[in-house]
Amino acid sequence: EAQVTQNPRYLITVTGKKLTVTCSQNMNHEYMSWYRQDPGLGLRQIYYSMNVEVTDKGDVPEGYKVSRKEKRNFPLILESPSPNQTSLYFCASSILSNSPLHFGNGTRLTVT
């Protein structure tokens, strides 16, 4: 089944403790992206990747890092999480950057 898989689905952590949210797609998509969803703000792009080893900042990149060493994986890294990064995170992929996105089921992160 074609899908975007995120792990974990739920995560509670403390300020400053490094964490990684994994994302994997099995559709051989070139383009991958991370979004965060907050009430009243919709979905805002954090980082995106046009292809392997090519990543760039989205609209809200502060406090996040990403890597794209392989085509199928696009992990989101929070080196020192803070409470304002408490949010619902979505990974998405598409065939090309201008194609409709396929989303994962989300990771709900709480930073205390």
Q: Interface residues with other proteins (CB under 8 A)?
A: 4, 33, 35, 40-45, 48, 50, 56, 58-59, 90, 92, 97-98, 100-106
Give dist(CA 96, CA 51) in Å, integer.
Answer: 9
* Closest separation in Å from C-beta 56 to other proteins: 7
What phi, psi does 84 have (nearest 5°)?
-75, 0
Residue 44 Cβ vs other proteins, minimum distance, rounded to whole Å = 8
DSSP codes joined into one string, 42-76? EEEEEEEEEETTEEEE-S--TT-EE--SSSSB--E
| Residue placing its CB nearer to other proteins in the complex, 69 or 100 | 100
Least Cβ distance, residue 16 to other proteins (angstroms): 28
